A and B are shown apart, each in its own frame.
Chain A
């Protein structure tokens, strides 16, 4: 069954609004990675979080890893049309080498 759940599945915002996607697991995660996939494109690595409670920023993007290492979030401030795409979280379950992807959150933006 699905071990990494991601919500929401879709999000439509006005340009300039904020956007957040959440990733949750019932099991402890070794790490979490975030990828962005543009329409018709392939996943592109954004960032990796490893430590409990870790927060990383990339310009308008803020990534958080939960204290219990079971959830993560990606927040985009003041979205731009270039942010359009599907954002995936991917995680190694504790003790496993295999990367498990969430279902993704598809972001569309009204200019």
Chain B
């Protein structure tokens, strides 16, 4: 079974530039998550999709971050404009069903390492 795919693996940009990340979840997984992992910290949920609908985006900085999952499969996360503090690893994860009661295993992709200069 193929895992969660992400691209690019690395990205270096200057502040105020824009950047986009792509994620392809495991086939058949209805729920997709984007996490931000700052160096030395645990992953922080940015947004959770159930099929193509948003379940939770309470921690997404909506003035600069946006995400979509138009057809309920692939997803893109965009930052516009980027700030220095956005330097982090952006992890995509998927699970088969919604995380109701926390009973679903989340499978993580390799992540995109973003460095903002």
| Complex interface bits, B93-109 against A, C-beta within 8 A gives 1, otherwise 0 | 00000111111011111
**A70, B109: Cα distance in complex, Å:** 29
Cross-chain contact A88 with B102 (CB below 8 angstroms)? no
Chain A residues within an 8 Å CB radius of B102: 30-31, 33, 48, 50, 91-92, 97, 99
**A101, B106: Cα distance in complex, Å:** 12
Cross-chain contact A97 with B100 (CB below 8 angstroms)? yes
Cross-chain contact A97 with B42 (CB below 8 angstroms)? no
Q: A30-83: which have CB < 8 Å to B?
A: 30-31, 33, 41-45, 48, 50
Q: Does A85 interact with chain B (Cβ within 8 Å)? A: no
Cross-chain contact B91 with A99 (CB below 8 angstroms)? no
Total A residues in contact with B, Cβ cutoff 8 Å: 23
Closest Cβ–Cβ distance, residue B108 to chain A (whole Å): 4
Closest Cβ–Cβ distance, residue B101 to chain A (whole Å): 5
Chain A residues within an 8 Å CB radius of B103: 31, 48, 50
Q: Does B56 interact with chain A (Cβ within 8 Å)? A: yes
Q: A1-53: which have CB < 8 Å to B?
A: 6, 30-31, 33, 41-45, 48, 50
Using CB atoms, name the residue of chain A closest to B110: A42
| Complex interface bits, A87-111 against B, C-beta within 8 A gives 1, otherwise 0 | 0101110000111111110000000
Chain B residues within an 8 Å CB radius of A88: 42-43
Closest Cβ–Cβ distance, residue B54 to chain A (whole Å): 12
Closest Cβ–Cβ distance, residue B7 to chain A (whole Å): 14
Chain B residues within an 8 Å CB radius of A99: 33, 45, 99, 102, 106
Q: Does B48 interact with chain A (Cβ within 8 Å)? A: yes
Cross-chain contact B98 with A103 (CB below 8 angstroms)? no
Closest Cβ–Cβ distance, residue B32 to chain A (whole Å): 13
Cross-chain contact B56 with A102 (CB below 8 angstroms)? no
Chain A residues within an 8 Å CB radius of B101: 30-31, 92
**A46, B106: Cα distance in complex, Å:** 11
**A30, B103: Cα distance in complex, Å:** 9
Cross-chain contact A97 with B56 (CB below 8 angstroms)? yes
